[in-house]
A = this chain, B = another copy of it.
Amino acid sequence: MDALSKKIYLILEPPTEEDPRADKQRILDGLPEGIGHVVMGLKAMRSLYPICEKANWRITVSLAWNGSCWEIYRIEPGDTRIRSFGIAADLGSTTVCMRLIDLNTGRVLAQSSAYNRQIAFGEDILTRVFYCKGQPARLEEVRLATIETFREVMDELSQKSGLDLTACGAMVVAGNTTMMHFLLGLDPFSVFASPYAPRASEFGFLRGEELGLPIEGYVYCYPCLANYLGGDIISGMIATGLPEREGISVFLDIGTNGELVVGNRDFLLSGAGAAGPALEGGVVKTGMRAVDGAVSAVRLEEGTFHLTVLGGGTPKGLCGSGIVDLIAQLYLAGYIDLRGKFTQDAPHLVEENGNIGIGYGPGLYFWESDIQAFLNTKAAANTMVEYMLDQIGIPMEQVDRFYVAGAFGTHLDKESAVTIGLYPDMERQRIISAGNSSLEGAQLLLCNKDKLVLLESILGKMEYVQFGAVADFIDRMRAAKAIPHTDMRRYPSVQEKLAKRK
């Protein structure tokens, strides 16, 4: 383990008249060779007396990496190495998720999450950004809401683990560009307005205290590549190891936005687009978040819908994975055609103001307009991938791994996602659900300081494509809107399934 914070136990000789070196010097001299430049913070200096004397110079020093060198930030009597921990955080626009990590073993001591209190200023990011526009006092409000959320989650971690997190020497935060701006109190308006230059893309190591976080050590925020390609994606790179492998991978993160990376150890091409909201149930009329009561899976057998409900109670609506399942099942059953229109075979149809819907549960309807919204979104995601691969002249068959990051990808049924053409039709084991790769990457960096070097090389190598600037993007999207795709040859397994059904 070469974590961003570490403890070193020292057994030192007490000062004598023959060796009256200063306490601080005695400690620095006692550190292992090759550790490099080490400084000592003022608080630690002030604690030298009486700790060292009382502990008879058997002490544990806590070191935090400050971006340039190690800094001793805490001195404790005796051997306290067993209590060495740090925090990995994923700062999402909806949820803040953290893990308390044992920096001796890399083990997760506790995990906790909370809704981002920024939501009070707008359900979606853009509302929050406009709330702050040209209003420094409001920006401060949103910043404080972010910090309060962090404190809430940290309190929970503390309760779960029984540990005092103040002693933490390192926290790594991953999140998108706007979230980082809010956390640091930087005006985020430019993230969304032409020419899309953020205030900062690399944030460096900042003192927890300076940010308003109750830890003694440093906070490292994952750097962003561009306005829409944030630290959460860069963190996903570290998590998946994509930039270190020979084989070419696709990394797709479908969240509030859709972000994409294609590449391997030689090149990295990235892009982002407004692909996300519909998939999370945000745009869909009867959609909802993946909370209790959400239908997360659907099976259609002989005209009957079998629903899996989160929490096991009464179904209240569809979350993202439920939508994908339902569309796939409707399509395979022949209830919708490749354009997403209900066929004459479809049962339980209703009509409301010219919008046709299907009853998939008691009092629950899924509308043609919902299907269209969703297909637009999946077409966008699909086209982003296709466009990127075209750019580098690599056909999908040569893609070694297809990563799907985010909570959405975690709960999604791969078969259904392939059926509707959201995922490419490739060997299923090469489609990998990367989970919360933003959090995973934060944890990995927290435990491996040398990932900072990899990070630099990723940033140096990665190119960013503005999809808005691509001329034939709309045409391509139109072709990708069909289920699974206008070019059916790309989906042999779906053809096979359809053949079986018939």
Residues of A within 8 A of B (CB): 15-17, 19-26, 37, 39-40, 42, 45-46, 48-50, 66-69, 184-187, 189-190, 194-204, 206, 210-211, 224, 226-227, 466
A17 proximity list for chain B (CB < 8 A) = 194-196, 466
Q: Flag if A15 contacts B197 (CB, 8 Å).
A: yes
Asked, given contacts A25-B202, A68-B68, whether A185 binds B46 with beta carbons under 8 Å apart, the answer is yes
Q: Contact between A48 and B186 (Cβ–Cβ < 8 Å)?
A: yes
Q: Which 4 A-B pairs have the closest CB atoms?
A: A15-B197, A68-B68, A22-B201, A24-B200
Chain B residues contacting A226 (CB-CB under 8 Å) are 20
Q: How far is the CA of A379 from the CA of B267 in the complex (A)?
A: 77
Interchain CB contact under 8 A, B199 and A22: yes
CB-defined contacts of A20 to chain B, threshold 8 Å: 195-197, 226-227
Q: How far is the CA of A201 from the CA of B19 in the complex (A)?
A: 13
A204 touches B15 (CB 8 A): no
**Cα(A50)–Cα(B189), bound, Å:** 11
Contact B25 A186 (CB under 8 A): no
Out of B48, B67, B194, name the residue touching A200 (CB < 8 Å). B48
* Number of this chain's copies in the complex: 2
Q: How far apart sit A40 and B206, CA to CA, in the bound complex (Å)?
A: 10
Q: Contact: A68 with B25, CB < 8 Å?
A: no
State A78–B50 Cα separation when bound (angstroms).
Answer: 50
Report whether B200 and A49 are in contact in the complex, using a CB–CB cutoff of 8 Å.
no
Q: A17-B466, A22-B198 are in contact. List 6 more A-B contacts (CB 8 A).
A: A20-B197, A40-B204, A45-B186, A45-B200, A49-B186, A50-B187
Determine if B184 and A24 form an interchain contact, defined as CB atoms under 8 angstroms apart: no
**Contact assessment for A68 and B37 in the assembled complex, using a CB-CB cutoff below 8 Å:** yes
Q: CA A25 – CA B37 in complex, angstroms?
A: 26
Cα of A492 to Cα of B206 in the assembled complex, Å? 66
Tell which of B21, B42, B67, B210 touches A39, judged by Cβ atoms closer than 8 Å: B67
> Are A24 and B201 within 8 A (Cβ)?
yes
Query: Which residues of chain B come closer than 8 Å to A185, judged between CB atoms?
Result: 42, 46
**Chain B: minimal CB distance from A75 (Å):** 11
Indicate if the CB atoms of A199 and B48 lie closer than 8 Å. yes
Which of the residues B23, B68, B190, B199 comes within 8 Å of A69, measured between beta carbons?
B68
Which residues from chain B contact A202 at a C-beta distance below 8 Å?
Answer: 22, 24-25
* Residue contact A45 to B201, C-beta cutoff 8 Å: no
Distance, CA A17 to CA B185, complexed state (A):
24
- B-side contacts of A39, CB under 8 Å: 67-68, 204
Q: Are B184 and A46 in contact (CB under 8 A)?
A: yes
Most B CB within 10 A of own CB, among A48, A224, A227: A48
Residue of B nearest to A464 (CB): B20
Q: Are B211 and A42 in contact (CB under 8 A)?
A: yes
**Smallest CB-CB separation from A23: which chain B residue?**
B199
Cα A172 to Cα B227 in complex, Å, equals 41
Query: B residues within 8 A CB of A21?
Result: 197, 201
Q: Which residues of B contact A46 (CB under 8 A)?
A: 184-186
A-B contact pairs, 12 of them (CB 8 A): A19-B195, A20-B196, A22-B202, A24-B200, A25-B200, A25-B202, A37-B68, A42-B184, A46-B184, A46-B185, A48-B199, A49-B187
CA distance A417 to B206 in the complex (A): 56
Q: Write out the residue numbers on chain B whose beta carbons fall within 8 Å of the beta carbon of A196.
A: 15, 17, 20
Contact A22 B200 (CB under 8 A): yes
- Considering the complex, give the chain B residue whose CB is closest to the CB of A66: B68
Cβ-closest chain B residue relative to A27? B200
Residues of B within 8 A of A66 (CB): 68
Q: How far is the CA of A29 from the CA of B26 in the complex (A)?
A: 40
CB contacts (< 8 Å) of A197 on chain B: these are 15, 20-23, 26
